[in-house]
Structure 1
Amino acid sequence: MTDARPLGADQAAFIAAVRADDAARFALLTERHRRELQVHCYRMLANYEDAQDMTQETFLRAWNKRESFRGHAALRTWLYRIATNACLDLLRKRNDRTPVPSELPDPDSEVPYLQPYPDRMLPADPQESVVARETIELAFIVAVQHLPPRQRAVLILRDILGWPASEAADALGLTVASVTSALQRARVTMREQLPGRRLDWRSPATHELSEDERGAVRSYIETHERNDLDALASLLRDDLRFAMLPDPGTVTTTAKDAVDGWLSGGLFQPGHDDWRGIATTVNRMPAAVLYVRTPGDPEYRLFAVAALHIVDGKIAELTGFDAADKPWLDLPPTL
């Protein structure tokens, strides 16, 4: 039997491009979905470079499978199915794309392959579920990584994209009962992994930074520029969660211990005490881009990006990334 429903404009144009073997038209119709597909792959993989690769793999697979598209589902849905399975295939091949036990006494496991996502690469439509802030922030992305790959896919398709169980089951080659069971288990794990103060990811989405967040990131930069360690410590909660990736060791620490640890590592000491910073956002989170000038160097050079989660005006979570090897963040190399 064929589906008698009328085709949407996208589906009809796509089928016409396939029948004409028109690669340019095919690329034009699929390219408009690139950003949201890349966010989808990032949620699955927590790594920006992997997400780029799998988005490109999605388009390659779509071209190779173009004859299989019959318009029974929206073109967007068909592409999401391909992208999801491309990510699952990658996860089957890569044993370094799962959380690893912490090397520190903290019982948590870590996601050393986590990379920040530049906000400028998010889809432009703020109403899209794919850019809901609660589901792109780092804590959520890390929590998702603790799910087995198929549970991960089910949670994203069902709870973030809002697919019905039957559609998710069809995309993943599962039964509806299996999808329902996987979703229930995934939700339990997510609530265990997300820090207790985090929002429910199924609550109404927010997008904009608050004044508290904007003020805290400005203060964070200013305390570095003044080398004011007391003021820096006063910005941190006493149950701070801190990580500096890709170094091992996500820890919950006091504000004083965090600052003492940075000092013992050489920061704020001669040679690493001349700072400048700019405010930005990654993963819809406030972030500080830090630059340091060493003796004899006329310029401040890119050092790190600190993504901040702010609670009641204080920094509750700080995830630092080496910024020098992440050209996709499009940051000036010097100030």
Structure 2
Amino acid sequence: MDDAALVHAWRSGDASAGERLVERHFPAVYGFFRHKVGGDVEDLVQRTFLRCVEARDAFRGESSFRTYLFAIARNELFGHWRRRGLDVDPDATASGVLDAVVGPASAIDARREYRLLVQALRGLPLDDQIALELMYFEELTGAEIAVVLGVPEGTARTRLRRARLALERSLAALDAAGEGLRVTTDDIERWAGAMRDAMRQERAARR
């Protein structure tokens, strides 16, 4: 049963349909928070699904249910940072906030390319990082990312183009800092694809 049918059944009183939606999307929501909030991931995942339950009837089906969940997750993320007294300007660089929350090394993956990609993403403005992660790792479209960010589609697509260029510059800066990189757009796409596959394997292993 697809998400739309499950949402309809859930609204009609089928609690098991809601449970299936949570089970289906839990790994993606967990992944959204994983490198952003340190040990508070489980709490924010629970908050996200709680808000989803509370706003169940507000979902009009204008986007996919998964996109709707990511929009709630983003709001919960920013609320979490504000409660901790952190600067959460969406256009501010992500690294200062994330270092304060998760530490500079907690997002490092085993493979050097993954580590460098995460490091470069964290050097971008917060919403740029979120937009690129959703594009690369969750394969959301520009229209879906617009819903998550709460902006017009054209604005989201412009942000994505700008963010991709900024990511290339960030990786080039790592090269200048002695990481020995010679990174192209194709390299970024390949690294992101490999990281996406690794994340999916990890999610499957948790089920």
Bin of the TM-score, shorter chain as denominator length: 0.5 to 0.7
What are the residue-to-residue correspondences of 1:1-335 with 2, within 5 Å? 9-20=2-13, 22=15, 25-43=17-35, 45=36, 47-94=37-84, 95=86, 98-100=94-96, 111=99, 113-114=102-103, 115-116=106-107, 137-194=114-171, 195-196=174-175, 197=181, 200-203=187-190, 205-206=193-194
Retained in 2: the 8 A contact 1:111–1:142? no
Structure with the bigger RCO (C-alpha within 8 Å, sep 6+) is 2
- The 1:79–1:180 alpha-carbon spacing in structure 2 relative to 1, beyond 3 Å, is same
- The 1:74–1:183 alpha-carbon spacing in structure 2 relative to 1, beyond 3 Å, is closer
Give the structure 1 partner of residue 91 of structure 2. none
Structure number with bigger Rg:
1
Q: Which has the higher helix share?
A: 2
Retained in 2: the 8 A contact 1:33–1:76? yes
Instruction: Count how many residue pairs are aligned between Structure 1 and Structure 2.
Output: 177
Q: Percent identity?
A: 26
Hey, what's the Cα distance between the residues in 2 that align with 1:142 and 1:111?
11
SS of match in other structure, 1:206: helix
Question: Displacement of 1:169 after TM fit?
Answer: 1.4
Retained in 2: the 8 A contact 1:58–1:86? yes
Structure 2 unaligned blocks of 5 or more? 89-93, 176-180, 201-207
- The 1:48–1:283 alpha-carbon spacing in structure 2 relative to 1, beyond 3 Å, is farther
Q: For 1:18, give the aligned amino acid.
A: R
Hey, what's the Cα distance between the residues in 1 that align with 2:199 and 2:62?
34
Retained in 2: the 8 A contact 1:165–1:176? yes
Q: Could you give the per-residue CA deviations for residues 278-298 of structure 1, whole angstroms, max 9, x where no partner exists?
A: xxxx989xxxxxxxxxxxxxx
Structure 1 unaligned blocks of 5 or more? 1-7, 101-109, 120-132, 208-281, 285-335
Hey, what's the Cα distance between the residues in 2 that align with 1:56 and 1:117?
25
Retained in 2: the 8 A contact 1:62–1:82? yes
- The 1:283–1:167 alpha-carbon spacing in structure 2 relative to 1, beyond 3 Å, is closer
Hey, what's the Cα distance between the residues in 2 that align with 1:198 and 1:58?
39
Hey, what's the Cα distance between the residues in 1 that align with 2:147 and 2:141?
10
